Amino acid sequence: MAMNAPLYETGALTGGGALAVALGVGVAFGFFLERAGLGSARKLSAQFRLTDLTVLKVMFTAIVTASLGVFWLSRLGALDLARVYVPETYLLPQLVGGAIFGGGLVIAGLCPGTACVSAATGRFDGVAVIGGLLVGILAYGAMHPIVERLAMATPRGTFTLPQLLGAPHGATVLLVVLTALAAFRGAEWLEARRVVDR
């Protein structure tokens, strides 16, 4: 079977078509985030009070579903994985940036995507988080000359877990699936013994 995806990369899709796809996948993404209750800062931040682990369940189910799909589609020859862009690894910036991001997340109660959903449902705190994000991004632009060395430190290019572990793609996906299943079991156990979150 000939590899015929990604469609945009193989030239099967025009620029206008790509924008229609952007709108469509955006609508579906926002829809599922709101359906799960992640337009609510109280529910999202309860992940970090360990009283409602919806964030972990949604995030890891999405990761497991997509990583299994990517593995099988490329295995069956339907998707050319070499033409799918994998976010590049910068060890130190992603460690430090991730920590700053996590601290901000628990203060704001929403992440960038869920802030958009929260704002869409009529919540002013969601609008305020988006405003704060714009301010932070502007501030980062101003201080970029100072932090540029940190931002570009320890580049590893496209660096994946199979490369790190020296394991086959399928075995790594299986490891992610098993880790997620263990995390789901732990999450259900924690929620079953929770005290009322008030």
Partner 1 sequence: MSSNDRGAPYMSPYLAGVGIGVVLLVTYVVMGHGLGVSGALTSVVGTAATSLSNAPVLPAWEGYAASSSRGLLGDWFVVEVIGIVLGGLLSAALAGRLRPDTERGERVTVNRRLVFAVGGGAIMGIGARLAKGCTSGQAITGGSLLSVGSWIFIVAAFAAAYLVAPLVRREWR
94 sits near partner 1 (criterion: CB under 8 A):
yes
3 sits near partner 1 (criterion: CB under 8 A):
no
Residue type, 121: T
**Which positions from 44 through 83 interact with partner 1, judged by CB under 8 A?**
45-49, 52, 54, 57-67, 69-70, 73, 78-79, 83
- Give min distance, CB of 20 to partner 1, in A: 9
Cis peptide preceding 155, ω within 30 of 0: no
What region does 112 belong to: left with phi over 0, alpha with psi -120 to 50, or beta? alpha
- Give min distance, CB of 63 to partner 1, in A: 5
Strand partners, 89: 157
- Give min distance, CB of 77 to partner 1, in A: 13
174 sits near partner 1 (criterion: CB under 8 A):
no
- Give min distance, CB of 25 to partner 1, in A: 5
DSSP element (H, E) containing 156: strand 155-157
185 sits near partner 1 (criterion: CB under 8 A):
no
**Which positions from 9 through 48 interact with partner 1, judged by CB under 8 A?**
9, 13, 15, 18-19, 21-37, 39-43, 45-48
- Give min distance, CB of 1 to partner 1, in A: 14
Mapping DSSP to helix (H, G, I), strand (E, B) and coil, where does residue 197 land?
A: coil
- Give min distance, CB of 74 to partner 1, in A: 10
161 sits near partner 1 (criterion: CB under 8 A):
yes
137 sits near partner 1 (criterion: CB under 8 A):
yes
133 sits near partner 1 (criterion: CB under 8 A):
yes
Residue recorded with tokens 């940190």: 150
Mapping DSSP to helix (H, G, I), strand (E, B) and coil, where does residue 1 land?
A: coil
150 sits near partner 1 (criterion: CB under 8 A):
yes
Answer yes or no: are the C-beta atoms of 115 and 129 closer than 8 Å: yes
Give the DSSP per-residue string, 4-57.
--STTTTT-S-HHHHHHHHHHHHHHHHHHHHHTTTT-HHHHHGGGTTS--HHHH
171 sits near partner 1 (criterion: CB under 8 A):
no
